[in-house]
């Protein structure tokens, strides 16, 4: 029996030196390994070649990462994207059915940035493709000319929903400060999702899945960045890891019970 839970981390499909490749940023791996005290396995974006059931049979939790690509608008009935918008059809074909199946199966899920948007789409929600172009909203994008420490520095406050799951993780705090590195955002909230936090301009910054059987949280910001130095980020990855450990123990118990039954 393993001592640590196994967390699957969604990968992007991209091209490196003319070779199709599947990649995950090390910051996500480090947050799972160090912040959640779990083992990490990278899940390639193979679409129908990799069934959600096969993935869920081996993992104790799933982290859906951020990405430079956007969910294809036809996935939520949106208008065609502006020229030059980066999409990743292979990731969409992998993560959307996998996220849906994971929630249904009670597998712990943490969804970050693009993953947060995927969660909203899975539950029937829609997305703003360019938040900064919408009246009444601020520009939530980073300045890509800045160094990473500046890009990922806290950018604005969020208001935590009173009595919500995220507020409990935050020790009862009403507000927190988060980074902001996204162009898209939630337009219509998916059915079955609860708002956990909002930005000063009203944009939804975090959601949870109502009546989920396990940890199911999506956040628009990047808690994986230097997670150990931020109280809320530390709490998020610790709670996610605890949920994954609970699932690991449950699976181990079910397996032992089945083995005992077959020997009887």
Return the active site residues: 113, 222, 224
Environment class of residue 176 by beta-carbon count within 10 Å: exposed (0-12), middle (13-18) or buried (19+)? buried
Outline where the chain has alpha helix (H). 26-30, 52-56, 89-105, 114-122, 148-151, 165-169, 231-263
On whether the CB atoms of residues 195 and 158 are closer than 8 A, the answer is: no
Would you give the distance in Å from CA 224 to the centre of its chain?
10
What whole-number distance in Å separates Cα of residue 175 and Cα of residue 199? 10
Torsion of Cα atoms, 111 then 112 then 116 then 122, to 10° = -40
What whole-number distance in Å separates Cα of residue 133 and Cα of residue 50? 37
- Looking up tokens 């400060």 gives 177
Outline where 136-230 has alpha helix (H). 148-151, 165-169
- Neighbour count for residue 5 (Cβ, 10 Å): 25
């Amino acid at each position: 029996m393993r001592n640590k839970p196994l967390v699957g981390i969604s990968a992007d499909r991209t091209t490196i030196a003319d070779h199709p490749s599947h990649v995950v940023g090390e910051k996500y791996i480090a947050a799972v390994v160090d912040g959640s005290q779990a083992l990490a396995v990278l899940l390639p974006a193979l679409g129908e070649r990799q069934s959600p059931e096969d993935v869920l049979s081996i993992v104790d939790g799933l982290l859906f990462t951020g990405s430079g690509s956007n969910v294809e608008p036809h996935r939520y009935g949106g208008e065609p994207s502006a020229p030059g918008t980066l999409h990743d059809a292979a990731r969409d074909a992998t993560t959307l059915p996998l996220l849906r199946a994971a929630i249904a199966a009670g597998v712990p899920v943490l969804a970050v940035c693009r993953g947060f948007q995927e969660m909203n789409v899975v539950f029937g929600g829609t997305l703003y493709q360019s938040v900064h172009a919408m009246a009444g909203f601020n520009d939530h994008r980073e300045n890509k000319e800045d160094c990473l420490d500046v890009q990922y520095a806290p950018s604005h406050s969020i208001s935590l929903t009173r009595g919500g799951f995220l507020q409990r993780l935050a020790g009862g705090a009403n507000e927190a400060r988060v980074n902001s590195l996204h162009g898209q955002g939630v337009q219509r909230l998916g059915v079955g999702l609860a708002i956990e936090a909002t930005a000063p301009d009203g944009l939804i910054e975090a959601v949870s899945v109502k009546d989920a059987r396990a940890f199911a949280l999506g956040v628009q910001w990047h808690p994986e960045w230097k997670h150990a130095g931020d109280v809320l980020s530390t709490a998020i990855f610790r709670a996610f890891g605890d949920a994954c450990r609970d699932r690991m123990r449950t699976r181990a118990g079910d397996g032992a019970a089945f083995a005992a039954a077959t020997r009887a």
